[in-house]
Amino acid sequence: MTAMITVVDYRAGNLTSVQLAFEHIGAKVKITDKASDILAAERVVFPGVGAAESAMGNLRQLGILEALKESVSRGVPFLGICIGMQLLFDFSEEDGGTPCIGLLPGTVKRFRPSDPADKIPQMGWNAVTKAVQHPLFEGIEDQSEFYFVHSYYPAPAERSVIIGQTDYADVTFASAAGRANLAAVQFHPERSGRIGLRLLENFCRWDGKC
Amino acid sequence: MLTRRIIPCLDVRNRKVTKGVKFQNNVELGDPIEMAVAYSDGGCDELVFYDITASAERRPIDIGMVHEVAKVVHIPFAVGGGIETLEDMRRVLLAGAEKVSVNSLAVRNPDIIAQGAREFGSQCIVLGMDPVKVADKGRFPSGYEVTTRGFRERTGLDSLEWARRAEALGAGEIVVNSVDADGTRDGFELNLTSMIAMNVRIPVVASGGAGTCRHLVDVFTEGKADAAIVASMVHTGEFTIRQIKDELIAAGIPVRKKW
């Protein structure tokens, strides 16, 4: 059965690579900025790059913040990517402090490397160590590398929501997190080659249960 | 641990990959899309496409080719050469490129870096620079002057000052392509690379001179590079990405091992 993926467009970056990656694995993609489409979705992908404050502002302006929460509470498989992961937490340090959606407990912090050789943003491939067995990572070896581009990282307030972890700039951060039907990754599976596509295939097959 | 990136560079002319020495005597090497897929499957970490004729002949960017690449290559890739406006950047990024690289445009109009970073995010904006070694340390304290347009024009800019300025303007990454080392396969210009890398806080990609796996080891140790561009040494089939990575692993340099 062909997976139907609804990708949320909230003017936070370029959605082409997300769309092309899902299409490459045979999924059908609908890109939308409408609450009604999000509420009707079988699977929601919440991607994005950019700054937290303007992204939250866009969600409010488009009137889709409540639809996202409603979609998660209904049990629809939901995948946050990059800034789309960060916005799911309670609060981000970015832009002088930005209250976020609050579907996952914790904050988003800025990398403050002690070694200037640790460049900001973290840009490139880094390993994800599995914290739990999660359907999203089925068939993906532990310590597989994914492509990251980010200056801020999620710091969950509860260990139970951590799915995978990554080391950078003196911290071990949650590079994958979630609970129940909600999952989120800090890296870009759509830019992470065959292993990233495998994660997206897993999402297309996921029933939203862990 | 963040791994060091190996980035094959594909110079494209009329939809054929070419390679020359110091932008001269170009020969055709193959189809850019087939080569991109082969490198991606072979474990490269990123790709960069330069439409080298675009800058010299003022031909528009081949957006169709960018989109064809994006459909089949699911790792990051950058496009440079021929970007003249913010609108060009938008078209290239919307076609599926992860990054755009500006070089001579940024020299003529440095504010394009700031505009691009504001509009699309710093992570999308790469500054490409082609420094050449110069004797006049009074005018060029770094010892390197920035050139443009396929090394044909001098700019009067000091390479280190230009790198710092690009960082301040919002560039997300800097590709340092040594004019003196380009195409020689005699090794990267390590002094140049390390000087830039140690004086900016954004990633620095070394380019020009890769000929053996040892050169890659050197550029990540002595050269302090975050990523390195390879061309002839892999285009000729003499080395594979796997061979390069095996040698880097043996030298204790973190690289992506599974793909």
Token look-up 């960082």 returns B167
What's the pLDDT tens digit per position in A137-176?
A: 999 999 999 999 999 999 999 999 999 999 999 999 999 9
Is A30 part of the contact surface with chain B (CB cutoff 8 Å)?
no
| Structural domain spans, chain A | 4-205
The answer, yes or no, to whether residue B23 has pLDDT greater than 60, is no
Active site residue B11: yes
**Chain B positions in Cβ-Cβ contact with residue A14 (cut-off 8 Å):** 93-94, 120, 124
Write the DSSP assignment of A146-169 as a string of letters: EEEEESEEEEES-GGGEEEEEEET
Is B120 part of the contact surface with chain A (CB cutoff 8 Å)?
yes
Triad A36, A39, A43: Cα angle to 5°? 125
What's the pLDDT tens digit per position in B237-259?
A: 999 999 999 999 999 999 999 99
A20:B201 CB<8 A = no
**Chain A positions in Cβ-Cβ contact with residue B71 (cut-off 8 Å):** 20, 23-24
**Chain B positions in Cβ-Cβ contact with residue A187 (cut-off 8 Å):** none
pLDDT of B51 reads 77
Is A160 part of the contact surface with chain B (CB cutoff 8 Å)?
no
| Residues B259, B244: Cα–Cα separation, whole Å | 15
| Residues A130, A137: Cα–Cα separation, whole Å | 8
pLDDT of A1 reads 65
**Chain B positions in Cβ-Cβ contact with residue A141 (cut-off 8 Å):** 258
The answer, yes or no, to whether residue B41 has pLDDT greater than 80, is yes
Report the Cα A195 to chain-centroid distance in Å.
16
Instruction: Characterize B47-72 residue by residue with b for buried, 16 or more Cβ atoms within 10 angstroms of its Cβ, and e for exposed.
Output: bbbbbbbbbeeeeebbbebbbbbbee
User: pTM of whole model > 0.90?
Assistant: yes
A119:B202 CB<8 A = yes
Is A126 part of the contact surface with chain B (CB cutoff 8 Å)?
yes
pLDDT of A49 reads 85
| Residues B166, B170: Cα–Cα separation, whole Å | 6
Predicted confidence band at B60 (pLDDT cuts at 50, 70, 90)?
A: confident
> What are the phi and psi torsion angles at B165 (to 5°)?
-65, -40
The answer, yes or no, to whether residue B53 has pLDDT greater than 70, is no
Q: With a cut of 70, which residues of chain A have pLDDT below it?
A: 1
Q: Among candidates A72, A61, A13, which has minimal Cα distance to A38?
A: A72
pLDDT of A40 reads 97
B72 to chain A: closest CA residue: A24
pLDDT of B52 reads 61
pLDDT of A179 reads 96
pLDDT of A51 reads 86
A166 to chain B: closest CA residue: B1
CB count within 10 Å of CB B7 equals: 23
Is A25 part of the contact surface with chain B (CB cutoff 8 Å)?
no
Cβ neighbourhood burial of B212 (10 Å; 0-12, 13-18, 19+): middle
pLDDT of B21 reads 56
Q: Among candidates A176, A174, A88, which has minimal Cα distance to A140?
A: A176
What type of residue is B47?
L
What's the pLDDT tens digit per position in B191-238?
A: 999 999 999 999 999 999 999 999 999 999 999 999 999 999 999 999
**Chain A positions in Cβ-Cβ contact with residue B96 (cut-off 8 Å):** 16-17, 20
> What are the phi and psi torsion angles at A92 (to 5°)?
-120, 140
B74:A49 CB<8 A = no
Residue B51 backbone zone (phi > 0: left; psi -120 to 50: alpha; other: beta): beta
**Chain A positions in Cβ-Cβ contact with residue B2 (cut-off 8 Å):** 118, 122, 124-126, 148, 168
B258:A196 CB<8 A = no
Those residues whose C-beta lies under 8 Å from the C-beta of residue A35, and which sit 6 or more positions away, are: A62, A63, A64, A66, A67
Q: Which CATH architecture has domain A4-205?
A: 3-Layer(aba) Sandwich (3.40)
B residues 52-71 lying closer than 8 A (beta carbon) to A: 70-71
A124:B5 CB<8 A = yes
The Cα of B75 is separated from the nearest Cα of chain A by a number of Å equal to 4
pLDDT of A90 reads 98
The answer, yes or no, to whether residue B24 has pLDDT greater than 80, is no
Q: Does domain B5-250 sit in CATH 3.20.20.70? A: yes
Asked if A9 and A44 count as a contact pair (C-beta separation under 8 A), the reply is: no
Q: Among candidates A142, A137, A164, which has minimal Cα distance to A153?
A: A164
- Full strand arrangement of the beta sheet holding A91-92: A98-99, A91-92, A106-110, A152-156
Triad A64, A65, A69: Cα angle to 5°? 115
The answer, yes or no, to whether residue B22 has pLDDT greater than 70, is no
Distance in Å from the first CA to the final CA of chain A: 21
Pairs of CB atoms within 8 A across A/B: 94
> What are the phi and psi torsion angles at A26 (to 5°)?
90, 10
| Residues B244, B239: Cα–Cα separation, whole Å | 7
* pLDDT higher at B22 or B79: B79
| Residues A72, A68: Cα–Cα separation, whole Å | 6
pLDDT of A14 reads 84
Q: HSE of A133 in the Cβ direction (CA atoms, 13 Å)?
A: 2
The answer, yes or no, to whether residue B19 has pLDDT greater than 90, is no
Q: Work out the mean pLDDT of chain B and round it to a whole number.
A: 92
Those residues whose C-beta lies under 8 Å from the C-beta of residue B136, and which sit 6 or more positions away, are: none
The answer, yes or no, to whether residue B56 has pLDDT greater than 60, is no
Identify whether A121 is preceded by a cis peptide bond (ω within 30 of 0): yes
What's the pLDDT tens digit per position in B103-150?
A: 999 999 999 999 999 889 899 999 999 999 999 999 999 999 999 976
The catalytic residues of A are 82, 188, 190
